[in-house]
Chain A
Amino acid sequence: MENQALLRLDNIHKSFGQTEVLKGISLDVQAGEFVTLLGPSGCGKTTTLRIIAGLETATSGRVLVEGKDVSALPPEKRPVNTVFQNYALFPHMNVFKNVAYALTIRRVKKDEIRQRVQRMLELVQLSGFDRRMPSQLSGGQRQRVAIARALVLEPKILLLDEPLGALDLQLRRQMQVELKNLQERLGITFIYITHDQEEALNMSTRIAVMNEGHFEQVGTPEDIYERPVTRFAASFIGQANILQGVVEEKAEGRSRVQLEQGGTIFVNEALEPGTKIAVSVRAERIDYAKEAGYGFQVPGVIERHSYIGGVLRTTIKLSGGQELLITGANPSSHYPDGCAIQVFWDPDTAAVVERS
């Protein structure tokens, strides 16, 4: 292999007693990537991270760093460091000692420790806080100390377990930018856990959407958002409308689909007639008017409009009863509630998330 992955998870399974938490996870991460594990709580993302860190042992499967199997190594021997969920700053040590801890263990010379800790504290903009105890810091400051402490060894991979989870929204946004800048500046690979989709889309080079112990989809934020491959991936991120139907006719690179809810649409994928499929369309990609576009025939009735901030949210009821959610910045034409309209979208913006 010419392009050896920095980190490779090879078919990892993990069970706690009877419950299988991870059902075969495989992932390759290249140097310098910012990979986010995104999923609801209990999906196994923290367990995955702990297995990479060595804090948990996989039931089966391997963890490879730069091609070397580290599965059997204890956490202290692995070239990865972790930013813990609630930071886990040692409460009996001040900021300096916390950050210096890893260096102290490795018996680095005092002068060098001082220099490296100072550099780290500068990096996270906490110079001068050396003597503070963790209890005397704000949430955001603790967060920075935790990052400095984990970075002081200059690990190849930094694992972050919902590092912004305890911060309020404003601080969170600010820290997202800072973390991303830090990662780009240092060129360290980040494996990042969050259940916040906005955070994931905003920061990652790649996202792994996790659900019930397996990856639903791994891809760039754009891939995940625009081209979800499973129903879960589509509905977990953003506002997606999912419509079921059966393929009626296949043509060059596209198919005509009869919707269960009534009406026909086109998808940009050649599928065998008779295939049952589910199509996901983002709320902001759907358009509606008196006249349909793209050859669609999907009649509906406007249920209601509501303003959420600068966006207009429209609910449309299809003839079969299903409700579609549509968001638009500033609708060019306004239809009153109860008005019958046609729903359509650019087939390029929809994704087939299920087929059988």
Chain B
Amino acid sequence: MSQLYIWVVLAVMYLPMLVVVAYSFNSSRYSNWEGFSLQWYEELFNNSAIVDTLNNSLMLAFFSCALAILLGTMGAVGMAKSRFRTQGLLENVSLIPMMLPEIILGMAYLALFSLCRVPFSMITLIIAHTTFCIPYVFVSVQSRLVGLDPAYVEAARDLGASQTRAFYDITLPLIAPAVLNGALLAFAMSMDDVVISFFVAGTNSQTLPVQVYSMLKSGVTPEINALCTLMLVAVFLAIGLFGLGRALFKRASRG
């Protein structure tokens, strides 16, 4: 009974995606099935708008994540070592972007960048995305640090490591999984963001989600189905590879 419920929910979750996969191979532009075809994939690759915006989005997610990893990890590590009056305030304010409806942040950037006469471009996008990516890294690293036994670092110091050395030898490797976790989440968020990008992207720096949004709004677009199918394949491939890698690692470390 309970198993059945789980499967029903998962089926409902995957139903729309299965429909999309099926329709990506439909030779008709409309909903009735007229036979198998790969023409939408061909059109997808020939659609320069999609290819360009996909490039933009990947670049944007990469740079935002990198910056967020840097700022978020350094911040979380530093906060754990610091005691200052505005600490609680800083922590809560830096987490706001995760909590606020995105549209408010989007409008804030739109207004501020216009005021400062900063042209909307990849730079403004990276600033905006980094801002909402930081909390995912920060929170993930922070909770790992809280659970980290201080005795590890103390043991390293006791054995002759300087403070800096102990950080690189002990703390960093031990929080690395948390950094990765936060970064993966941040990457997904950046790749998926419509609302903020909608406000701060320049004409030459449109992101994929915004592009898909305007295409979906304007009408029937079977290329999107092909795109979605490819993304689905990529995600499951990545999960598969990840699982395989972990299994191999486990076997290696057991032997």
Contacts and interface: CB of A to CB of B under 8 A. Distances in A.
Answer yes or no: A and B touching, Cβ < 8 Å. Answer: yes
Interface of A: 53-55, 74-76, 80-82, 84-86, 88-92, 101-102, 105-106, 133, 149-150, 153
Contact of B154 (A55, A91, A133, A149): A55
A84 B174 CA distance: 18
B243 interface: no
Contacts of B162: 74, 76
A35 B253 CA distance: 40
Interface in B206-255: 253
B151 A85 contact: yes
Given A84-B154, A88-B154, A76 B253 contact: no
B59 interface: no
B157 A55 contact: yes
Contacts of B158: 53-55, 75-76, 80-82, 150
Nearest to A86: B151
Contact of A105 (B149, B154, B165, B253): B165
A85 B152 CA distance: 11
Contacts, number: 64
A75 B157 contact: yes
18 contacts: A55-B154, A74-B157, A76-B160, A80-B158, A81-B159, A82-B155, A84-B154, A88-B149, A88-B151, A88-B152, A88-B154, A90-B152, A91-B152, A105-B159, A105-B160, A105-B165, A149-B155, A150-B159
A55 B161 CA distance: 13
Interface in B104-157: 149, 151-152, 154-157
B66 interface: no
B101 interface: no
Contacts of A91: 152, 174
B159 A133 contact: no
User: Which of B154, B158, B173 lies at the interface centre, i.e. has the most chain A CB atoms within 10 A of its CB?
Assistant: B158
User: Which of A55, A76, A89 lies at the interface centre, i.e. has the most chain B CB atoms within 10 A of its CB?
Assistant: A76
Nearest to B253: A133
Given A76-B157, A90-B170, A101-B156, 7 more contacts: A74-B157, A75-B157, A85-B151, A86-B149, A88-B149, A106-B160, A149-B159
B241 to A, nearest CB: 22
Contacts of B151: 84-86, 88
Contacts of A80: 158
A101 B165 CA distance: 11
Contacts of A86: 149, 151
The list of the 7 closest CB pairs from A to B, nearest first, reads A88-B151, A102-B159, A88-B155, A75-B157, A105-B160, A76-B160, A82-B158
Given A85-B151, A92-B173, A92-B174, A105 B161 contact: yes
A101 B253 contact: no
A101 B159 contact: yes
A86 B151 CA distance: 8
User: Which of A85, A90, A102 lies at the interface centre, i.e. has the most chain B CB atoms within 10 A of its CB?
Assistant: A90
A82 B160 CA distance: 11
Contacts of A153: 159-160
Contacts of B170: 90
B205 to A, nearest CB: 40
A316 to B, nearest CB: 48
Contacts of A81: 158-159
A55 B170 CA distance: 16
Contacts of B154: 53, 55, 75, 82, 84, 88
A190 to B, nearest CB: 15
Contacts of A149: 155, 159
A49 to B, nearest CB: 11
A348 B172 CA distance: 61
A81 B154 CA distance: 11
A154 to B, nearest CB: 13
B229 to A, nearest CB: 39
Contacts of A92: 173-174
A91 B147 CA distance: 14
B83 to A, nearest CB: 13
Contacts of A150: 158-159
A75 B162 CA distance: 9
A84 B161 contact: no
A101 B161 CA distance: 9
A108 to B, nearest CB: 11
Nearest to B254: A136
A105 B165 CA distance: 9
A55 B153 CA distance: 10
A63 B80 CA distance: 29
B138 to A, nearest CB: 22
Contacts of B169: 90, 101
Contacts of A88: 149, 151-152, 154-155
A91 B174 CA distance: 8
Nearest to A149: B159
B144 to A, nearest CB: 13
A55 B159 CA distance: 12
Contacts of B161: 76, 101, 105
Nearest to A94: B253
A84 B155 CA distance: 7
A91 B253 CA distance: 13
A205 to B, nearest CB: 24
A88 B169 CA distance: 14
A102 B160 contact: yes
